[in-house]
Structure 1
Amino acid sequence: MKKDIKRIAIVRLSALGDIVNSAVTLQFIHDKYPDAKIEWITEEVFAPLLENHPLVSIVHTLNLKQLKKSKSFSLLKQTFLELRSLGEFDIIIDIQGLLKSAIVARLIGSNTHGFDKNSAREGIASYFYKTTSHIEYDENIVKRNTFLASDGLGFNISDEMLLNKKPIFETTEYPLDNSDKKNIAIVIGASWESKKYPKERVAELCNELKENSIILWGSDAEKEDALWICENSAYATIAPKLSLIDLVSLISSVDLLIGNDTGPTHMAWAQNIPSITLFGPTTTRMIYETPINIGIKSSSKVDIYHINKNDFSIKDIEVQKVVTKAKELLK
């Protein structure tokens, strides 16, 4: 174990699922370094998820999207000065492994740690780190994140530790249907169209399960699809517009979550809630499978180094296969 670690910075700017899969490291870092302050650097939109986390002392936010859009030199200078003013850290861990996150890490200080050239998503990022770790790029994403953080800090996070993890986020109970039916959250959105399970199949899924299916949405287009599903299934209800905090609370309160490969779906694993993640153009590498958190992959072959965003094979996953797995988990 490394000595005298008192202040740790974690750089994970986006996106929601990646932040969730990185935040699992917090409890293990705290166990090894209970007196260390852990500070998180992220995009402004994700700050509410981490601001009240008991193991995060401070959340520092950036608005890189605004910076890119405005092309403002004064805003760039302000961002630079804010990063440089954070003070000295014993270690700055860039879990993202992109050029932009590596630059952010290096602006904060010199004690940077990240993936080596052959492990990072963007190999050029490795030139900004003082120390690096090697793990194959095609390794499970949660194992990559936890290995990088623990290796940089001089300890190990085992599979047993991950399987017995505590819920990652603290929540309050979300009011749900108290009937004899099970509450199932269904995530219909995703960053790419090819990641989405067709709304027709979601409606069929709700009708086959005959439980209380709560359709989660995050955009106007997703809301339209959610309403269509509810019109075509008496077992489906649409969730209200949710803040990040309310989203975590709802997911933490259901009996099962079914969804596409996207942030809210990963939240079920984070909270130790049973889940089924459906995959088309991506693979089960994106989740940490457990006895209660499983993935169902379409038959298409995936090259993770060159993801085919036009792979719509998720639509070929049979509803009955999902129903069978769901009933097993609900038992």
Structure 2
Amino acid sequence: MRICIVKLSAMGDIIHAMVALEFIKKHIPFSQIDWIVESGFKGVLENNPHIDNILSVNLKSIKKNKLEIFTQYKLLKTYSKNNYDIIIDAQGLLKSAIVSRIIGANTIAGFDKNSIRESVASLFYNKKIHIAYKENAIDRNMAVICQSLNIKYTKNDILQKEKFLFFSQSEQKNTEPYIVLVVGASKENKVYPKEKFAAIVNKLERKTVVVWGNEEEHKTATWIAQNSDCAFVAPKGNLDALKSIIANAKMVIGGDTGPTHMAWALNIPSITIFGNTPEYRNTYATNINKVIKSSSKVDPLKLDSSDFSIRDIEVNEITQCISQHQLLNY
């Protein structure tokens, strides 16, 4: 069976969908699984043994140059020659639905019109899955992918998942245990204050590696390292290196963003800090993966861009959570 999953972006959303891969291979062991993804996020998927082909696109280039639409269309038409049995649009956006239709298959599956924000996308599917938009993102991805393939599973199956991020390099030469801080996010109101991050490091008194993805985040990481006794700035690297750093950590602390969600994918203890985004929807709490949410109420259908309540979460809430759940076992 030739299966194509369309999940273009962003990092956290891709990770939330990847959990379904092991279920596909378990129930349809001889299937071919290809994945359509924006080129900037290709590294998240790389080295996964359950993915046969990672097929990248650059739809974002169209915003800068309208003529790029022809280049991307031709690229998608080459992917259509793969003769898929089913294409599953796990994104649920108009652009991902159009991508699915251009590539083409006898069955194009996706969310029904009542399960997504851009309801027009459902017109492109001939197999439609219903699960409310407000439901947990991991449950939603599992539903649209697994139900499209008639795969049965339980919540307990998800909780007992195997790790599903893989990397090619093993650059962790220093075996000294460490914690990871994820200090950046896609939006400013998802970022926890650097002063409070530094206070966490000083309270825990454990070696801490601060990861970063751009120059602004590098400045934040440097400030934390300069204002705490145990923090070090991670070297510049790619997504392969980031997966390696997270996989070898004892615990990860960060906001609602891709690198923090990597901890869940790799079965590493974590605390995800939420402000203006819904904790019940954007992650899966487990015995080792905990969440701390600010007091603000969140509507997942209309996020409040003026909500900076993540800044109000006290350092003690985080350190007490670590202690209460014994997340640091060394």
Offset of residue 155 of structure 1: 1.6
Q: Quote the residue 2:262 is aligned against.
A: 267
Amino acid at match of 1:43: E
Corresponding position: 1:95 with 2:93: no
Distance in 1 (alpha carbons) for counterparts of 2:148 and 2:88:
7
Match of 1:141 among 137, 140, 149: 137
Corresponding position: 1:151 with 2:147: yes
- Counterpart contact for 1:177–1:212, Cα < 8 Å: no
Q: Quote the residue 1:170 is aligned against.
A: 166
After TM superposition, list the pairs within 5 Å mapping 1:1-331 onto structure 2: 6-72=1-67, 75-86=68-79, 87=81, 88-110=83-105, 111-171=107-167, 172-175=169-172, 177-179=174-176, 182-284=177-279, 285-327=281-323, 328-331=326-329
SS of 1:329's partner is: coil
Give the fraction of aligned pairs with identical amino acids, expressed as a percent: 45
- Counterpart contact for 2:277–2:298, Cα < 8 Å: yes
Distance in 2 (alpha carbons) for counterparts of 1:27 and 1:163:
13
Amino acid at match of 2:228: S
Q: Quote the residue 1:3 is aligned against.
A: none
Gaps of 5+ in 1: 1-5
Gaps of 5+ in 2: none
Structure 1 stretches (4+) deviating beyond 3 angstroms?
171-174, 176-179
Offset of residue 81 of structure 1: 2.5
- Once the two structures are superposed, residues 22-78 of structure 1 have per-residue CA deviations (whole angstroms, 9 ceiling, x without a partner) of 111111011111111000000011123323221111111111111221111xx3223
Tell me whether 37-46 or 319-328 shows the greater mean CA deviation.
Answer: 319-328
SS of 1:34's partner is: coil
SS of 1:301's partner is: coil
Amino acid at match of 1:25: A
SS of 1:147's partner is: helix
- Counterpart contact for 1:176–1:183, Cα < 8 Å: no
- Counterpart contact for 2:46–2:166, Cα < 8 Å: no
Residues 132 and 24 of structure 1: CA distance in aligned 2, closer, same or farther (over 3 Å): same
- Counterpart contact for 2:278–2:299, Cα < 8 Å: no
SS of 2:42's partner is: helix
Distance in 2 (alpha carbons) for counterparts of 1:244 and 1:51:
9
Offset of residue 173 of structure 1: 4.1
Relative to the length of structure 2, the TM-score reads 0.95
Distance in 1 (alpha carbons) for counterparts of 2:100 and 2:174:
45
- Once the two structures are superposed, residues 1-28 of structure 1 have per-residue CA deviations (whole angstroms, 9 ceiling, x without a partner) of xxxxx10000000001111111111110
Distance in 1 (alpha carbons) for counterparts of 2:152 and 2:116:
20
Distance in 2 (alpha carbons) for counterparts of 1:49 and 1:302:
28
- Counterpart contact for 1:51–1:58, Cα < 8 Å: no
Amino acid at match of 1:291: N
Residues 188 and 64 of structure 1: CA distance in aligned 2, closer, same or farther (over 3 Å): same
Distance in 2 (alpha carbons) for counterparts of 1:203 and 1:176:
25
- Counterpart contact for 1:173–1:250, Cα < 8 Å: no
Offset of residue 174 of structure 1: 4.2
Relative to the length of structure 1, the TM-score reads 0.94
- Provide the aligned length of Structure 1 versus Structure 2: 322
Task: Give RMSD over aligned pairs.
Answer: 1.3
